[in-house]
Each structure stands twice: as C-alpha cells, then as structure tokens.
Chain A
C-alpha cells in the first residue's frame, strides 16, 4: 500500500531552470513532511521539511509548497544546478516519529548544463 505517491520518477532540467517534484499522501494524520536528497553511493540526507500549519517553506533555492486540503506537497528547486543532480525522496510521518515515516518512491533529477 503506497501511502505517499511521488512523481515524476525521473526528471531532466536545464541548468538555471526550475525542478518540480510532487507528492500526494492519503493519511490525514501525517504531521511532518521531510524531503531527502540522495547522491549516488550515499545515504539520504534531510534537505528541507515542513509541517501542515504552514503553506510554504523556503530554504535558499529549495521551497516546499504544501496544500493541506488537496493532501499534496511539492519541492521546487529554483535555478537548478548540475550539483543538484540526485535522487529526491518525499516522506511523511506522524508525531515526528520515524518509526512511522513513509517514503515516496523517489525522483531521479538530472540537471544538464
């Protein structure tokens, strides 16, 4: 049962463009929505996270948009750079507890010069 659906599976973006990755969830009890970035041969690392009491969170070139009524959230990468090429995972959890976290299936982003 896939509780967090992530799209697209892969994405190619020109340098300087905007990368957009979307996620949708089913469980309305989720209250923490992190995004993880994973480079080849490395473990995932927390990139940015949001809670449902805000509709947007921005950290540098990375922005999470959150639509509670639609149960959707998305990651926007502005001015995408080749160094952003990685796999991105959205996730959702309850009570901030990682024993309950559910990950999306991942999006492989390639930023071409």
Chain B
C-alpha cells in the first residue's frame, strides 16, 4: 500500500532502554521528518532528512539519533529512554521541488516507565 507507515503504533519501554521507532514511505519523497507531539507544545521537530545519508537536527534533538541509509526509511532511536520522552511521535515526508505539503504517519505512542 502506498503511503507512510510507522511501527510500532504503541510501545512501552523502561527507563534506560534503547528503543527504535520505524518509519517507511513508498513515495520516494526526498524529505522526511520526525516530530513529537505533547499537550501544550503542539508538534516539535526532532530531526529531519533532506535525502539519503543527509540528516540534521530540529528543535528538540537531544536524546535521539536518526539514520537514513535508504530513501524510504527513516528510523528514530532513543538511545537511553527517559520518562520525558514519553510522547506521541509522528513521522512525515514531503517531496522536493518546491512542493510544500507534508504527509504524516499515524503516529507511535511511546510510554517510558
């Protein structure tokens, strides 16, 4: 199916554990993004990627690591999860060439206990 998919949809992990959230898009969009959504903060950009092997920090990158070895995948890793990273995480993608609309995945609800 075409689109952007995130996995898992729900995840509970313990403080200090490493956890990876997956994002896959089938459009071959150039840009991919990771946001976190928290009540009272809206959507905040964690990391983004303009193309394979090109990534850059967003507004709240601390504690997160990303990679993009293939255009279609953009995993987000929490190296040592903390309770403050409990959030809903959204992946998004956008085509290049001046097109502005981004398409979001359905989100991953992560709880760190």
Chain A contacts to B: CB under 8 angstroms: 6, 32, 34, 41-46, 49, 89, 93, 96, 98-99, 101, 103-106
- A-B pairs under 8 A by CB, number: 52
Chain B residues with CB below 8 A from A101, complex form: 45, 102
Q: Which of A43, A44, A49, A106 has the most CB of B within 10 A?
A: A43
> Which residue of chain A lies nearest to B98 when distances are taken between CB atoms in the complex?
A96
B106 touches A41 (CB 8 A): yes
For chain B, the bracket of interface size reads 20 to 34
Majority SS of interface residues in chain B?
strand
Whether A98 touches B43, Cβ cut-off 8 Å, given contacts A32-B100, A34-B100, is: no
Asked if B74 lies at the interface with its beta carbon under 8 angstroms from chain A, I say no
Docked complex Cα distance between A31 and B22 (Å): 32
The chain A residue sitting closest to B31, CB to CB, is A98
Closest partner residue, chain A, to B9 (CB atom): A41
Question: Across the interface, do B104 and A43 meet the contact criterion of CB distance under 8 Å?
Answer: yes
- CB-based contact B42/A99 at 8 Å: no
- B residues in contact with A42, CB < 8 Å: 106-107
The answer to the question of B44 belonging to the interface, with a C-beta cut-off of 8 Å to chain A, is: yes
Q: How far is the CB of A8 from chain B (nearest CB, A)?
A: 13
Q: Given the interface contacts A32-B100, A49-B100, does A98 sit within 8 Å of B42 by beta carbon?
A: no
With contacts A34-B100, A98-B94 taken as known, whether A103 is within 8 angstroms of B106 at the C-beta atoms is no
Give CA–CA (A96, B92) in the complex, Å. 15
**Distance of A106 Cα from B44 Cα, bound (Å):** 12
* Interface-central residue, B43, B50, B56, by most chain A CB under 10 Å: B43
A contact residues around B90 at 8 Å (CB): 43-44
CB of A104 within 8 A of CB of B107, answer no
Chain A residues with CB under 8 Å of B100's CB are 32, 34, 49, 93, 96, 98
Looking at the complex, which one of A32, A98, A106 makes contact with B33 (CB distance below 8 Å)? Answer: A98
Contact between chains at A98 and B106 (CB < 8 Å): no
- Of A32, A44, A49, which is within 8 A of B43 by CB? A44
Interface positions of B from 96 to 113, Cβ below 8 Å from A: 98, 100-107
